[in-house]
Structure 1
Amino acid sequence: MEALRFVLVKTIPHRSEFTPTTAKETVRPGPPFLKNRRTKFYAMAVENRLQAPTLSPELAAPAQPETLLRVSPGSLLCEPGFLVPNHGAVESDGALGGGGGIEYLTKILTSSVYDVAVESDLQLATKLSQRLGNNVWLKREDLQPVFSFKLRGAYNMMAKLPKDQRDRGVICSSAGNHAQGVALSAQKLDCDAVIVMPVTTPEIKWRSVERLGAKVVLVGDSYDEAQSYAKSRAKEEGRAFIPPFDHPDVISGQGTIGMEIVRQMQAMQGPIHAIFVPVGGGGLIAGIAAYLKTVSPEVKIIGVEPFDANAMALSLHHGRRVVLDQVGGFADGVAVKVVGEETFRLCRKLIDGVVLVSRDAICASIKDMFEEKRSILEPAGALALAGAEAYCRYHRLEDKNVVAIASGANMNFDRLRLVTQLANVGRQKEAVLATFMPEELQEIL
């Protein structure tokens, strides 16, 4: 019998003394997980004209909903490539793909994304396919006008707003890609847009938003603080708040990617075995699953998350939404503590599971993409590719068609050094060794 490969250690209460070492001891003997050093990214200097407004105590420390279970990312341990199962899909409908997505089919087919977005190419990754013994296809959302899929959902929601609402303007909170999608959509629809971003947002990102004509306001040290301010200002000024993932129109806009993949399947020899989708708040995978599980339910829809930002995997395992007590920031595009309410409802019914990957594997996939297409993906943009490779190796797939969503390419240039250092570790060409020495205080005589 195959040895146990997956273990839920325990739910971590608030202020727990739980450490990764404790979790590690409960796992079966085998290849140890590499623990990377935490990398600190410091906030860039902010110009005086973009200084953050003063936050009230309520906005500065937003309370988490009491109904959400608080857990640690480290409470879920498995090998890279192992499919964390989604038991909710079978329990709710009897079979994967059985309902849940049909109400989105018409919304996706009638989405208004192509006023700003392009139908991205589905390209074969030749070198990676030869290495894995499977056909690996790349859905090139990194080639969109804002180098990310996010403009699909943002524009679809904004285009459906009543004209009088658009005349009052829109507002959103974002650390990057969603902000650019809203800004470009506002430019196309000729409406006023305010983008609220944390003060830690790199200058390259908020400068890009400014160039698209939106007003940037930097607020708070975290996304939660920026979001609280944006929602409060939306009520005060009558602006429409454009969420990054948890809205039916946003989900439908992202779902057009699934519609395109079904059309582009004709270029393949044989059916698609699985589509790998990066998961943050869940809007992208919910939209793709809603379409694919309705028209091609045999195709597996598999989410990919980092080990240190696995809110969807833990939510699926517990059968309810959870809030992470901490979240890793390397793949900042998916660094979400809580998945969306509507996105989780769809994912629990429709997706097949989630694969977890390490930071090193993400860096290796960024390198793979550069060698394949001479394009540099951001960490979240390479997440699905890392998951597809890990899944193929773990399950020993052969001669299958798998699709990975290359979701974004808004990489900060100063991160490239770290990526190059870790890429060979992820490809297991190098190793990082660490020694822990206990400190002892000795009395000086």
Structure 2
Amino acid sequence: MTYFPKLEDIKAAEAIIRKVARVTPLDESIRLSKQYGATILLKREDLHRVRSYKIRGAFNKISFLTQEERSRGVVCASAGNHAQGVAFACHHLGIKGTIYMPSVTSKQKIEQTKMFGGDSVTIVLEGDTYDDSSKAALQYCEEQTKTFVHAFDDEKVIEGQATIGLELLEQFNAPIDYVFVAIGGGGLASGLCAVFSRLSPKTKIIGVEPEGAPSMKTSIEKGENTRLETIDKFIDGAAVQRVGDLTFPICQKYLHEICTVPEGKVCQTILDLYNRDAIVVEPAGALTISALDAYAATIKGKNVVCILSGSNNDITRTAEIKERALLYGKLKHYFIVRFPQRPGALKQFVADILGPEDDITHFEYSKKSSKENAPAIVGIELKSPDDLQPLIQRMKAKNFYGEYLNDKPDLFQYLV
């Protein structure tokens, strides 16, 4: 391990960050505490002015630049939250910044970055993933001799994120048994490991990654920092192909465990937090709560902290979030239905095939042909997962059944 954060450096970062960021609340969730029979505390990093914890590391890093480095300007790459932290720091400190973001970044995050940076920043959209943007940003940075502000693999950034650990220990008077932290590149997890390994070594740090982007879990299992060839980019705030070279050995040694959570489960958590707790989080911000089910027996009776890392969620993603949640919960099902080419076929399907609480939410019918049956792609939302098999049986009995698409991912992606 070439680097491990020093407590004095983390405390120095805390003093710097206090100039622009308040101490975020540590609130008990009554609903989750009852559900799991534990004290579930939410560290509300979503309530920063840039709506994520990334302001900590970005501001700390840029504050330590020399006057010469400041005059040349800075460069960063980010899927959104780090970009906003860097933009805010540049505007606050009067430094010019160039911010590279993936071309698929939501409009909401781009607009927020522009708002916080004002005339101090220039935004460049490059590549399909964070890693693509990072590569382009590093090349530009080298060509222009500017300072690169890494989203996670930087000493001052890690020390800035680590200040969350100091706050937690100051805010909660009893021992903290578990801290659940989302992992993208590992900057926040590394910082927490540094604090708790020294000040509260019995606290177990649980890292949580998206199932479709398990870069840290894969690296720890292989014993070396490993780049994933493909990732699911849906949880953009925690989807990287390769974790940091500084963060990997820290997490490898000090994380108690690391787990992955399906993207669909994260979507259901987002909806539950909004509908039941009036809390808005982005997909990465919902990762830690989504992991609690897997630890339900372990955390019973314990003091548990879940870090809500950010709330930069674009409302235009709501339909996709709901769709993924329904698919994960086995409540949304897609079929190729073969309708007989005769009058009244659709009416019969609705009357005889659908259950009393089933709902057609998607319908694409092909043009008529000379065949006896014409296919349609039909999406049906069920009240309960148990209603699926009776539905399929009725479809087969009346000769409507064609294909079930949910378990055919290639066909599903092509048709739906």
Quick check: 1:173–1:179 contact (8 Å CA) kept in 2?
yes
Q: Which residue of 2 aligns with 1:67?
A: none
Corresponding residue for 1:298?
202
Higher mean C-alpha deviation, range 222-231 or range 372-381: 222-231
More strand by share: 2
Q: Does 1:360 align with 2:267?
A: no
- Contact between 1:132 and 1:392, CA under 8 Å: does it hold in 2? no
User: What is the DSSP-based 3-state SS (H/G/I as helix, E as strand, rest coil) of the residue aligned with 1:369?
Assistant: helix
Offset from partner CA, 1:152-185 (integer Å, 9 cap, x none):
0011010011111111111111121110000000
Q: In 2, distance between residues paired with 1:275 and 1:424?
A: 29
Aligned to 1:410, which of 312, 323, 326? 312
Aligned to 2:284: 380
* Residues 129, 233 of structure 2: 8 Å contact kept: no
- Give distance in 1, aligned partners of 2:322 and 2:40: 23
Q: CA deviation at 1:135?
A: 1.2
| Matched letter for residue 307 of structure 1 | E
Task: Check conservation: 2:131, 2:240, Cα contact below 8 A.
Answer: no
Counterpart of 1:390, as a letter, is: D
Alpha carbons 1:100, 1:349 under 8 Å: kept: no
Distance 1:428 1:236 in 2: 51
Q: Secondary structure at the match of 1:338?
A: coil
Residue deviations 1:174-209 (CA, integer Å, cap 9, x gap): 121110000000111111111112222222222221
Q: How does 1:9-408 map to 2 (within 5 A)?
A: 101=4, 103-111=5-13, 112-212=16-116, 213=118, 214-266=121-173, 270-387=174-291, 389-393=292-296, 395-408=297-310
Q: Once the 2 structures are TM-superposed, how far is the Cα of residue 210 of structure 1 from its aligned partner?
A: 1.5
Q: Could you say what secondary structure the match of 1:109 adopts?
A: helix
Aligned to 2:342: none
How far residue 368 of structure 1 moved from its aligned partner, in angstroms, is 3.0
Which stretches in structure 2 are left out of the alignment for 5+ residues? Answer: 332-383, 389-403, 411-416
| Structure 2 SS opposite 1:323 | coil
**CA, structure 1 residues 222+308, in 2 after alignment: closer, same or farther (shift >3 Å)?**
closer
Structure 2 letter corresponding to 1:240: T
Identity fraction in percent: 36
Quote how far apart the aligned CAs of 1:237 are: 2.0
CA deviation profile, 1:281-338 (whole Å, cap 9, x unmatched): 0001000110011110000001001111111111111111111121111111111111
Contact kept in structure 2, 1:126 and 1:372, CA below 8 Å: no
Quick one: higher RCO (CA 8 Å, sep 6+), 1 or 2?
1
1:383 and 1:276 mapped to 2: Cα distance? 9
**How far did 1:115 drift?**
1.9
Aligned residue pairs, count: 335
Q: Which residue of 1 aligns with 2:322?
A: 420
Contact kept in structure 1, 2:185 and 2:240, CA below 8 Å: yes
Please say which of residues 223-232 and 296-305 is displaced more in the overlay.
223-232
Structure 1 residue runs without a partner (length 5+): 1-91, 93-98, 440-445
* Alignment check: 8 A CA contact 2:3 2:246 kept: no
Partners of 2:329 and 2:385 within 8 A in 1? no
* Aligned mates of 2:153, 2:3 — CA distance in 1: 16
2: CA distance, partners of 1:155 / 1:335: 23
Higher helix share: 2
Q: Matched residues in 1 for 2:134 and 2:295: separation? A: 38
* Secondary structure in 1 matching 2:165: helix
Aligned with 2:285: secondary structure? coil
Normalising by structure 1, report the TM-score.
0.71
Per-residue CA shift, 1:106-145, capped at 9, x if unaligned?
Answer: 1111102122222110001111111111111100000001
- Distance (whole Å) between structure 1 residues aligned to residue 179 and residue 326 of structure 2: 26
Question: What is the rounded CA distance, in whole Å, between the counterparts of 2:262 and 2:385 in structure 1?
Answer: 14
Instruction: State the Cα distance separating 1:280 from its structure 2 match.
Output: 0.5
| Equivalent-residue separation in structure 2 for 1:421 and 1:224 (angstroms) | 27
Check whether the contact 1:125–1:372 (CA below 8 A) recurs between aligned residues.
no
Tell me the CA shift for residue 236 of structure 1. 2.2
1:413: Cα distance to partner? Answer: 1.0
Report the 3-state secondary structure (helix = DSSP H, G, I; strand = E; otherwise coil) of the residue aligned with 1:260.
helix
Do the aligned partners of 2:131 and 2:241 also contact (CA within 8 Å) in 1? no
Amino acid at match of 1:150: K
TM-score relative to the length of structure 2: 0.76
Mark the CA change 1:421 to 1:224 in structure 2 (over 3 Å): closer, same or farther. Answer: closer
